[in-house]
Amino acid sequence: MSVPASSMPEARRGTRHAPDSPTPVVDAMTDQVLGLVVDLSAGGMKLLVSAPLVDAALYQVHFAIDVPGEGRVPLEAGMQVVNQRRGPEGETAGLRFIHLQGAQAQRLGRWLRARGSDGRH
């Protein structure tokens, strides 16, 4: 029996940090904005979503972060929806990275280290 992603307990492994500026996350397949990053870690992100996502679905997304010394750098990742909630800030979705390749992961790691995290899961 599978458990819907929206009812699964949250399992954060890394310290999460909010981006310094609004950071839209775009579905690479449809070019539609899925939402804005609330916080980001080496393991995933929380989004303030434009519309509910499909529970447990896989998304190929792209977004950009400001990495010290590099400026605004693009990232592309495969992600899975692990939970969705309605809260005071609106509808949010938790997504975990399922595919983040070498240079992309290194950029995210540098961004996290600049915020005091080790950049690992």
**Residue 74 located in a structural domain:** yes
Assign residue 102 the CATH number of its domain: 2.40.10.220
Judge whether residue 69 has pLDDT over 50. yes
| Domains of the chain: total | 1
* pLDDT score recorded for residue 87: 83
**Residue 6 located in a structural domain:** no
Contact between 96 and 83 under an 8 Å Cβ cutoff? The reply is no
pLDDT band for 76, please (50, 70, 90 cuts): very high
**Residue 121 located in a structural domain:** no
Residue 48 to residues 18, 24, 70, 95, 109, Cα–Cα distance (Å): 12, 9, 26, 11, 22
- CA proximity to 65, closest of 101, 29, 17, 31: 17
**Residue 59 located in a structural domain:** yes
Q: Which are the contacts of 103, defined by CB distance < 8 A and separation ≥ 6?
A: none
Mean pLDDT value of segment 105-111: 93
* pLDDT score recorded for residue 116: 85
Question: What is the C-alpha to C-alpha distance for residues 30 and 78, in angstroms, rounded to an integer?
Answer: 14
* pLDDT score recorded for residue 120: 52
pLDDT in tens, 83-107: 999 988 789 999 999 999 899 999 9
* pLDDT score recorded for residue 58: 98
**Residue 10 located in a structural domain:** no
**Which residues span the domain enclosing 97?**
17-113
pLDDT over 90 for what percent of the chain?
A: 73
Judge whether residue 68 has pLDDT over 50. yes
